[in-house]
A and B are shown apart, each in its own frame.
Chain A
């Protein structure tokens, strides 16, 4: 898979540090599953954490702590999560409970559908289904919106995004993503604040649709 839009360095560093909302982590883990370049960059950011840990101040462990640790070794070893066959990489499958066929879509009108995925409340993650040639309503953001393409492609005022590409939109961007003709577009998106729609009707519907 050839990708043109990747995770920015500050965003990868925040993922490595473990300070992002769960919904952002989900989008980034899904991109990382598809992209060796970002995986390598992440490992470099994690090396910073390793260097800090190596130099970190120690706090003495309690007496008997090593024996208590040995007692924990009996628990079962977690199985590795390998690459999944299908459209969704493993981290996304964990949240959906399966591949594309397991998604519980809710219609948003004009053939656009979404499914909210359960994460912590600091941000919201959702799958979006945009029929080929259709757009999602023009919207801005108060916070950051991450959008990862899983199938098809979309374009907005900034660029074209194909499978595996990640768009990081901040509050300066008002955009109308339009799915390319030919194939319906499926995206995984996360926002840390509710979207702002420009038109009145979508704005009224917003509290009900949670988009």
Chain B
């Protein structure tokens, strides 16, 4: 079986996990993301055994929180990253992670396909911009996100085009608040 590549496929697979507890879809997500989570945690200083255990745990959380994923506000990779990051803080720093409160609504029952697609495209563009950064700058950002670089060392200017993604997410939030009131 070939692995799906496009980000939209991950969104669809996660939707199948959410709607029908589809284990085959979950297996594809697991095969793609679990080894990446394990690599991410090992780069952050976890032993292979701890990283293995945490990666399983992160994927179990992906299954359990699938109903909270909103494709208009994040790509699947981004959402998985946030779960892995919190697990890392918990496991490696033995510290709690205060998170903003959940929005008073879940994702829309039928998120707009176009929104999800555009979000996926923006994320892909960001990935491309990241790949094109000078090696030194990219390495610094990687260390910041993967290697527990101290917060005072994080560069003031990353040179990454975050403005478009931010505006898109801001619009999605405004629309959700409007729907609610």
Contact = CB atoms under 8 A, between A and B. Distances in A.
B36 A58 contact: yes
Interface residues of B, number: 83
B84 interface: yes
Contact of B174 (A10, A16, A36): A36
Interface in A46-91: 46-62, 65-66, 68-70, 72-73, 75, 77-78, 80-84, 89-91
> Which of A18, A72, A90 has most chain B Cβ within 10 Å?
A18
A50 B89 CA distance: 17
Contacts of B154: 10, 13-14, 17, 19
A57 to B, nearest CB: 5
B40 A55 contact: no
Contacts of A153: none
B131 interface: yes
Contact of B68 (A48, A56, A80): A80
Interface in B38-61: 38-40, 42-43, 48, 51-52, 55-57, 59-60
A150 interface: no
B165 A44 contact: yes
A43 B35 contact: no
Given A36-B177, A53-B40, A78-B64, A17 B98 contact: no
A48 B101 contact: no
A52 B94 CA distance: 24
Interface stretch (A22-30, A98-106, A127-135, A155-163): A22-30
Given A51-B126, A69-B59, A120-B93, A46 B39 contact: no
Contacts of B43: 56-57
B87 to A, nearest CB: 10
Contacts, number: 216
B25 interface: no
Nearest to A25: B98
Given A52-B146, A54-B77, A83-B101, A69 B56 contact: yes
A176 interface: no
Contact of B145 (A20, A22, A49, A75): A49
Interface of A: 9-11, 13-14, 16-20, 22, 24-26, 28-30, 32-33, 36-37, 39-62, 65-66, 68-70, 72-73, 75, 77-78, 80-84, 89-91, 94-95, 119-120
